[in-house]
Amino acid sequence: MADLEEICQHFQNKLSSLQCMLDLSAADFPQQKIKKLGQEVLGLGRILEEFEECVDQQKEQLKQLKELEKLFQNDLESVQHMKDNFPTHIPKRKSPVKDNKPADDQPAQAEKTKKISRNLVKELDYITVQEYESIPQYMKGRVSYEQLNAVVEGINTAVAAKYRILCQPLKALNNHSRKLQQLFKDQETKDTKGQFFVVEEDMREFTQMKVDKRFQGILNMLRHCQRLREVKK
């Protein structure tokens, strides 16, 4: 089927031809011409029927396109909502708490782990949105979800740096790292031996975090979410 402009032009040509024939109808019109005029009229009728069918099809397609546009708009709004609310940290698959959580000491915290590997340090899992929302408001205060997970990331950084030094041979360390290694060994007790743990001094040494009252409150939130366990000296 030709496009709309071609169809319109075709009708104009046919109508012009018919009009010309009608104008000449007062004169003696040969039978052959009259027959041709009838054929032209029938032809226009068939074209009009095809045109109407085409219009109906276009209306149906337009209806379907509008429905499709509405679906796409809903999907776009959903994607935009996810984009606007995408968490800064993506939680990892949660593992058993007793087997893979580093800890903080003084206030001391520790979790049992397998024998420390030279190349592997267990990390805290990020707090999920559901876990964050389950924390009591009196404990949560004004600490945001992003701020809470920023501390998780800081603890992971401190643990990784601390045990990287502990796992290296003494001859591979500089003077400062040797002193730190000895300090880390002196920090160990019977309750922390063979476990990953950090203390406040480790956080100051390896991160830029302020170890203040607010930080202590965040540690309480992490204990509530079973990311840390406190071990008293």
**What is residue 9's predicted lDDT score, i.e. its pLDDT?**
74
103 shares a domain with 162: yes
Q: Tell me the range of 7-16, 42-51, 186-195 where mean pLDDT is highest.
A: 186-195
In a domain, 178, yes or no: yes
pLDDT for residue 156: 92
Please indicate, yes or no, whether residues 77 and 135 belong to a single structural domain of this protein: no
Tell me the pLDDT band of 110, cut-offs 50, 70 and 90. Answer: very low
Mean pLDDT of 27-44: 64
Q: Residues in the chain, how many?
A: 233
Task: Establish if 229 belongs to a structural domain.
Answer: no
Give the pLDDT score at 149. 93
Q: Are residues 115 and 159 in the same domain?
A: yes
pLDDT over 70 at 49, yes or no: yes
Q: Give residue 101's pLDDT band: very low, low, confident or very high (50, 70, 90).
A: very low
* Run of H or E including 195: strand 195-196
| pLDDT tens column, 145-167 | 999 999 999 999 999 998 888 88
Select the highest-mean-pLDDT range: 10-19, 31-40, 72-81, 128-137. Answer: 128-137
Residue that is last in its domain, among 37, 61, 84? 84
Evaluate whether residue 22 is within a structural domain: yes
Residue 233: inside a domain: no
Same domain, 101 and 193: yes
14 vs 4: CA distance, rounded Å: 15
Which tokens belong to 125? 């899992």
Kindly state the percentage of the chain with pLDDT values over 90: 19
Q: Across the chain, what does the average pLDDT equal?
A: 77
Contact between residue 221 and residue 128 where contact means Cβ atoms under 8 Å apart: no
CATH number at residue 190: 1.10.10.1890
- Does one domain contain both 210 and 106? yes
Quote the CA–CA distance of 45 and 54 in Å, as a whole number: 14
Are 149 and 79 members of one domain? no
Place of tokens 């920090």: 187
Residue 30 has pLDDT above 80, yes or no: no
Give the model's confidence band at 90: pLDDT under 50 very low, under 70 low, under 90 confident, else very high: low
What is the pLDDT at residue 47? 74
pTM score, two decimals?
Answer: 0.53
45, pLDDT greater than 50: yes
Q: Which domain holds residue 141?
A: 97-224
Of the three residues 16, 49, 84, the one that is the final residue of a domain is: 84
Q: How far apart are CA 228 and CA 47, in angstroms?
A: 81
